[in-house]
Structure 1
Amino acid sequence: MPEVPEVEALALFLRERLTGHVVTGTELVEGRALKTRGRPLDELVSRAITAVTRYGKHIDLDLGGVHLSLGFGRAGWATWREAGAPEVADAAPPAPVIAQIAFDDGILGITDAGDWLSVQLHVVDAADEVPAVAKLGPDAADPAFSREMLVRALGGRRKQLKALLQEQETIAGIGNAYSDEILFAARLDPTAHAASLSDDAVTRLWRALRDTLDGAVRDRRGVPIAEQKAAKVAAMRVHGRTGEPCPGCEGVIEDIPGTKSGAQWCPACQGS
């Protein structure tokens, strides 16, 4: 799943590459992805990109008052091919193309590699008309995200930290992988409830969140969008590293109980 560091890098690429460029054509390959059925992608044709904005794990393309919202879900992503450039065969099978937006100088592709469709496209008049965007909590990667904002997000709730960090209505932008990395950096049990945290633990969590995301956003900047997933995987310290030595102690990385191998932790470092 692309999370805030990768989506921020994609937004930066699209902002630099597409601002001022005109849509010359569209193709919707998978009709289920377009959630605004009364507003086809063809509404974008002949309009120029005026702004590209990230909202959590969503990207909004502003075309002079008409907006295309890209929600990548669990396995969505984007491709870019310069006008006139030949298609290059990948070593691995390419992800299915969901939609294509042709510009005067290239083609933006939206793909989804999941077993079920998770990409969502909306053609709207304003970004906050997209339900998932309208209900987003404060952005985790915003430099202004403070310890006090984290305290409000935690809210003394009896909800597991792992699940709470991924709750987009509470904190926007964090998914499965970075929640593992943040909790490892904070040395906190992912199954502990937010209500159980001491003041010191809240401070550790906030610092780990800031350090982890700030570093990842910085490291992903400038990485070609086709290489973002590999860069993310390579940077993980515990996520996806089941059975490997813990980078922080003499323990071994294990799957978090109940996650069906989808999330990892170090019980020695993070155990209650």
Structure 2
Amino acid sequence: MPELPEVEALGAYLRERAVGREVERLEVASLSALKTYDPPPSAVAGRTLVDAARHGKFLDVVFDGDLHLVVHLARAGWLHYRESFASKLPLKPGKGPIALRLRLADGSGFDLTEAGTQKSLAAHLVPDPALVPGVSRLGPDALAVDLPAFAERIRGRRGQVKGVLTDQQVLAGVGNAYSDEILHAAKLSPFAITDRLRDDQVAALYEATQRVLTDAVSRSVGQRAAELKGEKRAGLAVHARAGLPCPVCGTTIRSVSFADSSLQYCPGCQTGGKPLADRRLSRLVR
């Protein structure tokens, strides 16, 4: 799933290539992807793309006249920029990977695609991003809070730190992959309970959040959209690396699986050498 660094990089990519260009049309291939109907997709035709912003993990493509295409790429969504399209014919609704296509008047543009059978990509065409339910519920951006505000929000939502860190109403932008990386850098168990964290542990978590996300943004911004996924994988220390040695201590990285997701961690760095039970409620010391 694209998280804060990748969405930030996609926004920068669009700002570099598409800002100032006139829109020819917005085509909808997956009717379930576009969650709004007023204004209609035809409303973007003839407008100028003026910005590409980010709200947590939401990408906001901004057109003149206060119109926004706000996109959540979900687990398997992505943006593919095209200098030109193979065909000028409009997309036909179907079962392919393309959900929406934005054509610019100069022949370039981008596709929003989603792999797999579970279609969760969501696009909203709105006059104000705050009208998108997911945006209106967002907490402060993970890179925009200071330590006192961070501590208040983390401790204010009691639960396992992995789940609280990825709760978009607590902090916006952190997902499954970077939460694993942050907790590894902070040397914290993903099952640690937030309101039991010592001051030094909260400070380490804050520092790790800022460092991991800032480093990921710096590595991602400037990359071509097609290269961002590979760049993300190359920078991961524990996420999706179960069975491999930890790059810090050499301990074998382990995984905990849930119904529709999993987490990875290093027992040597994070849990005193003890493996976590592979179920949501662990009996290990937190």
TM-score in terms of structure 1 length: 0.91
Question: CA distance change for structure 1 residues 261 and 171 in 2, over 3 Å: closer, same or farther?
Answer: closer
Q: Root-mean-square deviation (CA), in Å?
A: 1.7
Where does 1:141-160 land on structure 2 (aligned, <5 Å)? 141-142=143-144, 145-160=145-160
Counterpart position of 2:250: 250
Where does 1:90-109 land on structure 2 (aligned, <5 Å)? 96-105=97-106, 106-109=108-111
Cα deviation code 1:239-258 (max 9, x no counterpart): 00101111121311000364
Question: Any idea what SS the aligned residue of 1:54 has?
Answer: strand
Question: Any idea what SS the aligned residue of 1:180 has?
Answer: helix
One-letter amino acid matched to 1:73: A
Q: 1:140 aligns with which of 133, 139, 142?
A: 142
Percentage identity across aligned positions?
Answer: 40
Once residues 28 and 194 of structure 1 are traced to their aligned partners in structure 2, the CA distance between those partners, rounded to angstroms, is 43
Once residues 261 and 69 of structure 2 are traced to their aligned partners in structure 1, the CA distance between those partners, rounded to angstroms, is 35
Q: Is the 8 A contact 1:243 1:253 kept in 2?
A: yes
Once residues 255 and 77 of structure 2 are traced to their aligned partners in structure 1, the CA distance between those partners, rounded to angstroms, is 24
Cα deviation code 1:214-269 (max 9, x no counterpart): 10000111111011111111111000010111112131100036477721001121
Alpha-carbon offset, residue 161 of structure 1: 0.7
Counterpart position of 1:75: 76
Cα deviation code 1:173-225 (max 9, x no counterpart): 01000000000000000011101100000000000001100100001111110
One-letter amino acid matched to 2:55: Y
Where does 1:1-272 land on structure 2 (aligned, <5 Å)? 1-64=1-64, 65-83=66-84, 96-105=97-106, 106-142=108-144, 145-256=145-256, 258=258, 262-271=262-271, 272=286
Once residues 133 and 157 of structure 1 are traced to their aligned partners in structure 2, the CA distance between those partners, rounded to angstroms, is 19
Cα deviation code 1:135-191 (max 9, x no counterpart): 11111133xx21112112113433111111111111000100000000000000001
Structure 1: tracts of 5 or more residues without a match: 87-94
Alpha-carbon offset, residue 104 of structure 1: 1.8
Q: Is the 8 A contact 2:35 2:123 kept in 1?
A: yes
Aligned residues: 262
Once residues 61 and 214 of structure 1 are traced to their aligned partners in structure 2, the CA distance between those partners, rounded to angstroms, is 22
One-letter amino acid matched to 1:38: D
Structure 2: tracts of 5 or more residues without a match: 88-95, 272-285
One-letter amino acid matched to 1:129: L
Once residues 84 and 204 of structure 2 are traced to their aligned partners in structure 1, the CA distance between those partners, rounded to angstroms, is 48
Q: Which runs of 4+ in 1 moved over 4 A?
A: 257-261
Once residues 157 and 112 of structure 2 are traced to their aligned partners in structure 1, the CA distance between those partners, rounded to angstroms, is 37
Once residues 222 and 237 of structure 1 are traced to their aligned partners in structure 2, the CA distance between those partners, rounded to angstroms, is 22
Q: Is the 8 A contact 2:159 2:194 kept in 1?
A: yes
Q: Is the 8 A contact 1:78 1:110 kept in 2?
A: yes
Once residues 85 and 58 of structure 2 are traced to their aligned partners in structure 1, the CA distance between those partners, rounded to angstroms, is 29
Question: CA distance change for structure 1 residues 161 and 259 in 2, over 3 Å: closer, same or farther?
Answer: farther
